[in-house]
Amino acid sequence: MLAGPDHGFRPNLYHPLEQAVLNRKTMTDSKNLWGGRFTGKPDETFAAFNNSFGFDKRLFGADVRASIAHANGLENAGVLTDKETAAITAGLRKLLENAGADKSFFDGSEAEDVHSFIESKLVAIIGETGKKLHTGRSRNDQVATAFRLWLRDEIRGISGDVKTLQKALIAAAERHKDAVLPGYTHMQRAQPVLWAHWCLAYFEMLARDLERLDEVTARVNILPLGSAALAGASFDIDREAVAQELGFQGVSKNSLDAVSDRDFAIEFAGSCSLIMVHLSRLAEDLIIYATAEFGFITLSDAVSTGSSLMPQKKNPDALELIRGKAGRVFGHQTALLATLKGLPLAYNKDMQEDKEAVFDCVDTVKTCVNVATIVIDNLTVNEALTLEAATKGYLNATELADYLVKKGVSFRTAHDAVGRIILDAINQGKELDELTHEDFAKVSSDIGDDVFESLSLEKTLASKSQTGGTSPIMVESALAEAKKRID
């Protein structure tokens, strides 16, 4: 605690778990699914450490849906009567309804996790019949099923958000279809490219992200329910029928693997990490382009902040936060790998750590993708400045070398000649297109008066006419294709 006078207000400086350690009380009302073996109550500190309801309540809807399918599977196996199944499914649907209507539905619960919360609520509604629902399953396969079901839906949502960002990039490209800016290597001006070509580069990165999310979904979308604790269920439940009801593509092939598999969570975090890499690179480009030194773009007030001290400042905070939040997603993937690397088969409580990592990956990626879309929608390209930058700094040097190659000069000889010409231009303080024919002829007799057409910006861009190039014709075609791919 901080030293100082006590003025009647003592802020809680402790994490809830630390506060429980200080209190050292014994739980008086433990809500769990495993009490029969125990005669004593769990220590409050341990209970706080062990419980996951505070975060896994996000799985509520998915777990209820899976429980309804499990009830139907039990009925088809002859474990439940049709009357019992009707009561259970009606009770579960009532829980969904109550959760949607009551914002305080989850408040004040002492449940260990969302699964025990649902069971206790169900029993409170329909009585003893609710206690039959857990027949033939364990929390091990129950958790894995709800987690996969929830994540499958979230991936679908993230994919939709990524596509919206792709559409924003296409729209930004079309708003400034004729804008030209320097392309860079090693952060040095290299060759001119169209702004639309720049936009489409990030479109392609996001397209690969969508492919990865689809691939992850295929491995997420496998039903583990029916694996029970680790050895499989003892009741003749038609797992394929349950999988079909829940929209899973198949069922797990090995019960030990099914309850302990979190590869899909790591793969998802990896896909999220690459999305964040791409968003961070996008943010970095735009942060640089928005500086006074570059001035290539202007961010609207909607996505900028000011300084508390310097009135003239307009800061790209949205982009900086995207760049900064990438690290936390990378950390979640590393944490998941570290958690699983030494676990023996089958389920271990360590695996409870998967939820918060994946939940935060989902939240962070969705937020960052949506904010990136807003930024793209709220920027303007300063076309005069980008054009000036694209025509200064000898960005047409490669075109001069290619010109000589077309005259029959080997590329290596042409490269050396152009280097000497540029050195002369630097000494004169001129761009290549400002030199005279005599200046060129001093270095190479193969250069004729037609060289100036080859050095023009229009010719430089138009020459990049192969698939994937930045010529106006190719970029126009690429934009049209991108729209079709989105649709």
134 is catalytic: no
Per-residue b or e along 93-110, where b marks 16 or more CB atoms closer than 10 Å to that residue's CB:
eebeeebeeeeebeeebb
Count the helix, strand and coil residues of the chain and give each as a percent rounded to the nearest 5: 65, 5, 30
Q: Are 53 and 108 in contact (CB under 8 A)?
A: no
The CATH-assigned architecture of domain 54-132 is Orthogonal Bundle (1.10)
CATH top-level class of 142-388: mainly alpha
Tokens coding 485: 């791919």
The domain segmentation of the chain, as residue ranges, is: 54-132, 142-388, 389-476
Q: What is the pLDDT of residue 1?
A: 33
Tokens coding 188: 């040095």
> Is the domain covering 389-476 a CATH 3.40.50.1010 domain?
no
186 is catalytic: yes
Q: What is the pLDDT of residue 304?
A: 84
Q: Are 91 and 123 in contact (CB under 8 A)?
A: no
Q: Please spell the DSSP secondary structure of 50-107, one letter per residue.
A: H--HHHHGGGHHHHHHHHHHHHHHHHHTTSS-HHHHHHHHHHHHHHHHHHHH-TTTTT
| E strand map for 268-327 | 297-299
Q: What is the pLDDT of residue 48?
A: 80
| Catalytic position from the list 300, 307, 410, 477 | 307
**Please, which residues bridge with residue 251 across strands?**
223
Least Cα distance to 177 among 479, 484, 391, 458 occurs for 479
Q: What is the pLDDT of residue 28?
A: 36
What's the predicted TM-score (pTM) here?
Answer: 0.89
Written in H, E and C, the secondary structure of 218-245 is HHHCEECCCCCCCCCCCCCCCHHHHHHH
Tokens coding 1: 């605690």
Q: What is the pLDDT of residue 8?
A: 39
| Catalytic position from the list 7, 186, 234, 445 | 186
Q: Which amino acid is at 401?
A: A
Q: What is the pLDDT of residue 11?
A: 41
Per-residue b or e along 369-393, where b marks 16 or more CB atoms closer than 10 Å to that residue's CB:
bebbbebbbbbebbeebbbebbbee
Q: Please spell the DSSP secondary structure of 127-191, one letter per residue.
A: GGGGGGTTTT--HHHHHHHHHHHHHHHHHHHHHHHHHHHHHHHHHHHHHTTT-EEEEEETTEEEE
Least Cα distance to 458 among 477, 479, 472 occurs for 472
- Domains 142-388 and 389-476 equal at CATH topology level: no
> How far is 193 from 196, CA to CA, in rounded Å?
8
Task: List the pLDDT tens digit at each of the 487 positions of the chain.
Answer: 333 444 333 344 444 444 444 444 433 334 566 456 666 777 788 778 888 999 999 999 999 999 999 999 999 999 999 999 999 999 999 999 999 999 999 999 999 999 999 999 999 999 999 999 999 999 999 999 999 999 999 999 999 999 999 999 999 999 999 999 999 999 999 999 999 999 999 999 999 999 999 999 999 999 999 999 999 999 999 999 999 999 999 999 999 999 999 999 999 999 999 999 999 999 999 999 999 999 999 999 898 888 777 877 889 999 999 999 999 999 999 999 999 999 999 999 999 999 999 999 999 999 999 999 999 999 999 999 999 999 999 999 999 999 999 999 999 999 999 999 999 999 999 999 999 999 999 999 999 999 999 999 999 999 999 999 999 999 999 999 999 999 8
